[in-house]
Amino acid sequence: MIYKEPRFLAGGDKAIFVEFGDSIDLELNRRVQHFMLAIQKARIPGVTEAVPAYRSLLVFYEPLQIDPKKLRETLYALAQQLEENEFP
């Protein structure tokens, strides 16, 4: 199942998991890949790497450059924009 909104989970003190669903689904994986590309294009200060999995993405960041709460808000807004533009 593809979630209505992505879930954000702590991935330690320097990473955030962004989950898009809980199944093996090509559409789900396509969303993960598009989100990873959107993060790369956005060049969010403090984000050091985005590592995709089949249904989620692990976003590494430098906590001295960006607050985790601010990063979650930024990632959420980016996911919403992607949802509106890419997946009607």
More confident residue, 87 or 14: 14
pLDDT band at 88 (very low <50, low <70, confident <90, very high): very low
Q: How far apart are the first and last CA of the chain?
A: 17
- Could you tell me which residues are beta bridge partners of residue 58? 17, 51
User: To which residue do tokens 């807004």 refer?
Assistant: 77
- State pLDDT tens for residues 28-43: 999 999 999 999 999 9
Within 8 A by CB and 6+ apart from 20, the residues are 2, 3, 6, 28, 31, 32, 35, 55, 56, 57
- State pLDDT tens for residues 76-85: 999 998 876 6
Q: Write the class of the CATH domain 2-86.
A: alpha beta
pTM equals: 0.89
Residue-level pLDDT at 82: 83
